């Protein structure tokens, strides 16, 4: 599906964004492994999270949906059943990698596959440490690519230094660690999102953690919980940047997740001079949430790199858009991981923003963006990547004339209702 986007004179409104994708995946998975029924409020019903729901159902876990809640009837650590078909994770790297961890612990065989993008993404980062724990895993190219076959069971604990900061790999190893007697210990080169650790604690597992280090005691008894899923800051980020770059705008987003391991975007936007205010902070079941308000701002270019990168990895495409509207040069470094996301996001965003008239150079591990050039509408490719499509849509709001973006339906992967919300915020005067 193609979408036409025209420039806008202002964006105004008080809104909510759909639930956090990372927390929704984890709540379903831990709910399945717990004893009792886990109630999840405002769980994200997007393409990726529906994949996790379906895979978990195929493992013999009943899941019921009622209005804004879902109920996962946990089977306990040892209650999953061997699936009688290939588990299809679609586009969802999080489903794939987290389930690899769970399935490595099971005394049965599972097969996992996904769409074309998923089958290009690196899997050796989970396969190698899971093999060290004792799982047998086979797949294409020495099990570095899906489809994967996992013959699990009899795991032993592991102490592992992650070569790249990846919350998905860390989470896979913690989930496998549930099935290993003793302490599984993970060190990360820089801090990545910690939702798995927080939720494991809430479900009753013994977890010890410090910055860049976490360990978990295997074979716990997990107890069902009530989980409240806050709005996804990674989805909110598109609308925050929209509100900053479009003149005459003011947008308030309520009940957004503000976990500090995700808030790199807020730190960077503040440093760029954004008129952005966070208020009504509260903690719910270990996760912080609050409201964010932005107003049109005059932004300044910035250098983004080093330790902050994992704290804003999914927001870099839309930060590149903010940089186009900022004075001076923005340089993004240490972001080579963007090449192995749903698309090669460095290449994809560079192509799209260049087509719109932006001055963007692709670097081996990032982007250099010269801000302040006037943009004009153009045809842009979405690369079947939800975050590329949404980032380009935001840039198009500030471009003169019409922009066409293909693969517009992919926003459903993480942000159902994105196009409707964007229309609702428009105010022409
Ligand atoms: C995620 C972790 C990140 C992120 C992805 C979601 C998660 O991936 O990019 O969108 O839920 O754990 P990596 O672990 O590959 O960095």
User: Which atom, in ligand 1's list, is nearest to the CA of 165?
Assistant: 16
Query: In whole numbers, what is the pLDDT of the chain averaged over residues?
Result: 98
Cα 115 from chain centroid? Answer: 17
For tokens 């942000």, name the residue.
415
pLDDT score recorded for residue 67: 87
CB of 232 within 6 A of ligand 1: the answer is no
Residue nearest to atom 9 of ligand 1 (CA): 314
Q: Ligand 1 centre and the CA of 310: distance in Å? A: 9
Q: What is 21-217's CATH number, 3.40.50.300, 3.65.10.10, 3.30.420.480, 3.40.50.720?
A: 3.65.10.10
CB of 94 within 6 A of ligand 1: the answer is yes
Q: What is the pLDDT of residues 50-64, one digit of tens each?
A: 999 999 999 999 999
3-19+230-427 folds as: UDP-n-acetylglucosamine1-carboxyvinyl-transferase; Chain (3.65.10)
CB of 167 within 6 A of ligand 1: the answer is yes
pTM of the model: 0.98
The reply to whether 3-19+230-427 and 21-217 are identical in fold is yes
Q: What does the alpha-carbon distance between residue 37 and residue 74 come to, in Å, rounded to a whole number? A: 6
Dihedral Cα 7, 8, 9, 11, nearest 10 deg: -150
Asked if the model's pLDDT at residue 70 lies above 70, the reply is: yes
Q: Ligand 1 centre and the CA of 87: distance in Å? A: 20
Asked if the model's pLDDT at residue 215 lies above 70, the reply is: yes
Rounded to the nearest 5°, which phi and psi values hold at 2?
-100, 150
pLDDT score recorded for residue 286: 87
Q: What is the pLDDT of residues 265-284, one digit of tens each?
A: 999 999 999 999 999 999 98
Contact call for residues 415 and 235 (beta carbons, < 8 A): yes
Query: What ranges do the domains of the chain cover?
Result: 3-19+230-427, 21-217
Interval 283-303 mean pLDDT: 96
pLDDT score recorded for residue 281: 98
| CB atoms closer than 10 angstroms to residue 256 | 25
pLDDT score recorded for residue 429: 59
Q: What is the pLDDT of residues 159-190, one digit of tens each?
A: 999 999 999 999 999 999 999 999 999 999 99
Residues facing residue 403 across a β-bridge: 5
Q: Ligand 1 centre and the CA of 248: distance in Å? A: 34
Confidence of residue 285 (pLDDT cuts 50, 70, 90): confident
């Amino acid at each position: 599906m193609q979408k036409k986007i025209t420039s806008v004179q202002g964006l105004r409104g008080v809104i909510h964004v759909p639930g956090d994708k990372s927390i929704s995946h984890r709540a379903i998975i831990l709910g399945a492994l717990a004893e009792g029924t886990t109630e999840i409020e405002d769980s994200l019903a997007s393409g990726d999270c529906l994949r996790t729901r379906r895979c978990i159902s195929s493992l013999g876990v009943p899941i019921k949906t009622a209005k804004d809640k879902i109920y996962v009837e946990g089977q306990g650590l040892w209650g999953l059943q061997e699936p009688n078909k290939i588990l299809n994770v679609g586009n969802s790297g999080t489903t794939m990698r987290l389930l690899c961890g769970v399935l490595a612990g099971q005394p049965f065989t599972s097969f996992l596959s996904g769409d074309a993008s998923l089958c290009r993404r690196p899997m050796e980062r989970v396969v190698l440490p899971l093999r060290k724990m004792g799982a047998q895993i086979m797949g294409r190219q020495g099990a570095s690519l899906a489809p994967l076959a996992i013959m699990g069971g009899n795991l032993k604990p592991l102490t592992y230094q992650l070569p790249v900061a990846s919350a998905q790999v860390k989470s896979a190893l913690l989930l496998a660690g549930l099935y290993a007697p003793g302490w599984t210990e993970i060190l990360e080169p820089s801090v990545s999102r910690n939702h798995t650790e927080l939720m494991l604690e809430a479900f009753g597992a013994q977890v010890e953690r410090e910055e860049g280090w976490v360990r978990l005691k295997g074979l716990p008894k997990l107890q069902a919980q009530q989980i409240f899923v806050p709005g996804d800051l990674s989805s909110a980020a598109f609308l925050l940047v929209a509100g900053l770059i479009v003149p005459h705008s003011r947008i308030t987003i309520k009940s957004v997740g503000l976990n500090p391991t995700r808030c790199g975007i807020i730190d960077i936007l503040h440093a760029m001079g954004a008129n952005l205010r966070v208020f009504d902070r509260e903690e719910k079941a270990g996760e912080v949430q609050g409201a964010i308000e932005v107003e049109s701002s005059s932004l300044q270019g910035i250098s983004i790199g080093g330790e902050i990168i994992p704290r804003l990895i999914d927001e870099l495409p839309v930060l590149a858009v903010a940089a186009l509207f900022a004075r001076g040069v923005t340089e993004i470094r240490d972001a080579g991981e963007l090449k192995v996301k749903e698309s090669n996001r460095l290449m994809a965003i560079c192509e799209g923003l260049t087509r719109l008239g932006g001055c963007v150079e692709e670097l081996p591990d990032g982007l250099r963006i010269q801000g302040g050039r006037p943009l004009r509408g153009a045809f842009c490719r979405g690369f079947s990547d939800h975050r590329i499509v949404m980032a380009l849509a935001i840039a198009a709001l500030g471009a003169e004339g019409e922009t066409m973006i293909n693969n517009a339906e992919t926003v459903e992967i993480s942000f159902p209702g994105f196009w409707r919300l964007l229309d609702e915020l428009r105010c022409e005067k």
